[in-house]
Amino acid sequence: MSKAKSTFVCQSCGAISVRWSGRCDACGEWNTIVEEEVVESGKHTRQSFKEQAAAPIPITDSAQGVSTRLDIQLAECNRVMGGGIVPGSLT
């Protein structure tokens, strides 16, 4: 079981603080800060994106076409980059 958490709230202006203080930093009133327990709203749940998963399609049916590459005029750079630079890949 986790430790109970609490916050300190000014009864005059409603300012929230993580620790007690004799004087409220927001409004300047003395002895108006009281401790309040923080109630946790149950277990933390993670969102699941399974319902939004897309169905796989064959790569041959892909809408992406083969992009032409820009020749760099350096054979080794062209080889390393798979035949040249893809337009829009460099900024």
- Assigned domain for 11 exists: yes
What is the residue-wise DSSP string for 35-61?
EEEPPP-S-------GGGPPPP--GGG
The 10 Å CB-count burial string (b at 16+, else e) for 42-64 is eeeeeeeeeeeeeeeeeeeeeee
- Assigned domain for 66 exists: no
Give the number of domains in the chain. 1
Range of the structural domain that residue 26 is part of = 6-37
Output the pTM of the full model: 0.42
- Assigned domain for 48 exists: no
- Assigned domain for 60 exists: no
CA 14, 18, 23: angle at the middle one, nearest 5?
A: 60
- Assigned domain for 21 exists: yes
- Assigned domain for 12 exists: yes
pLDDT tens-digit profile, the chain (91 residues): 566 788 999 999 999 999 999 999 999 999 999 999 887 666 666 666 566 667 888 877 776 666 788 898 999 998 998 888 888 887 7
- Assigned domain for 18 exists: yes
Residue 7: beta bridge partners? 36
- Assigned domain for 85 exists: no
Q: Is 16 in contact with 7 (CB distance < 8 Å)?
A: yes
